[in-house]
Amino acid sequence: MPRPVNAVKRAELLQQVVHQLQHQGVAQMSLSPLAESIGTTKRMLLYYFGSRENLLAQALAASRPDAHAMFDDVRDSAALCRAAHALWEAMTVGEQSGPVRMLLQLLSLAVTDPEQYGDIAAETVEVMVGPIAEAYVRLGHPPEQARAGATLLVSGLRGLCQDRLVTHDVVRTDAAARRLIRDAVTAVG
């Protein structure tokens, strides 16, 4: 009988992998160099995560904002606006400012290598769009319009985040995010 997986060790490894991917990137992720950089072996990464693809999926899941936690309590437009601002804050100056780099890399890779990265990138987008669309539905918007509003918020804020990472223009991107959020909250419906 195989021994049970050490959940603490697995969580520690995952945290180290996330940190390494944030700084080294996703595109060149190879298990042997990744394992060496975090002080373990490829065999141990495979033992704890099964495959390179599963490790990448779990690293992304562990590092993205919890959209459900941010948007599940939204019951009015003001709460939607506050949640969207909290998401922007998390992406740019909060704990998500590092992981968002991984997400942007993944989305770019999905465009050039859809066979390897397409499914995980699409799932990563849906994990954000879904809970926000549900918030719009709770505010009385039809599902199709709700998904359009959620997409506007998610994709718009992600694009502004990428702009900020490239230009370092905090004032302009913050102003654009405030406008995007205002327009996305008032325009749907």
pLDDT for 147: 96
Confidence (pLDDT) at 79:
95
The answer to whether residues 110 and 167 belong to one domain is yes
For residues 12-28, average pLDDT: 82
Higher pLDDT, 51 or 95: 51
Q: Mean pLDDT score of the chain, rounded to an integer? A: 88
Residues 39 and 119 in one domain: no
Q: Domain tally for the chain?
A: 2
69 and 133 inside one domain: yes
Q: Give me the CATH number covering residue 33.
A: 1.10.10
Same domain, 94 and 151: yes
101 and 127 assigned to the same domain = yes
Q: Which residue range is the domain that position 54 belongs to?
A: 7-61
The secondary structure of the chain, three-state, reads CCCCCCHHHHHHHHHHHHHHHHHHCCCCCCHHHHHHHCCCCHHHHHHHHCCHHHHHHHHHHHHCCCHHHHHCCCCCHHHHHHHHHHHHHHHHCCCCCCHHHHHHHHHHHHHHCHHHHHHHHHHHHHHHHHHHHHHHHHCCCCHHHHHHHHHHHHHHHHHHHHHHHHHCCHHHHHHHHHHHHHHHHHHCC
Q: Which of 43, 61, 79 finishes a domain?
A: 61
Neighbour count for residue 89 (Cβ, 10 Å): 14
Quote the tokens at residue 75: 């019951």
- 60-102: pLDDT as tens digits: 878 777 888 999 999 999 999 999 999 998 888 866 666 777 8
Whether residues 51 and 136 share a domain: the answer is no
d(CA 88, CA 122): 20
Q: Which of 61, 90, 107 is the last residue of a domain?
A: 61
Q: Is the pLDDT of residue 189 over 60?
A: no
With 90 as the cut, is the pLDDT of residue 157 above it?
Answer: yes
Residue predicted with more confidence, 67 or 26: 67
The reported pLDDT for the residue numbered 95 is 62
Give the percent of the chain with pLDDT over 90.
43
- 188: pLDDT confidence band, cut at 50, 70 and 90? low
Structure-token pair, residue 31: 């298990």
Q: Is residue 108 part of a domain?
A: yes
Please identify, among 21, 36, 61, the residue that sits at the C-terminal boundary of a domain.
61
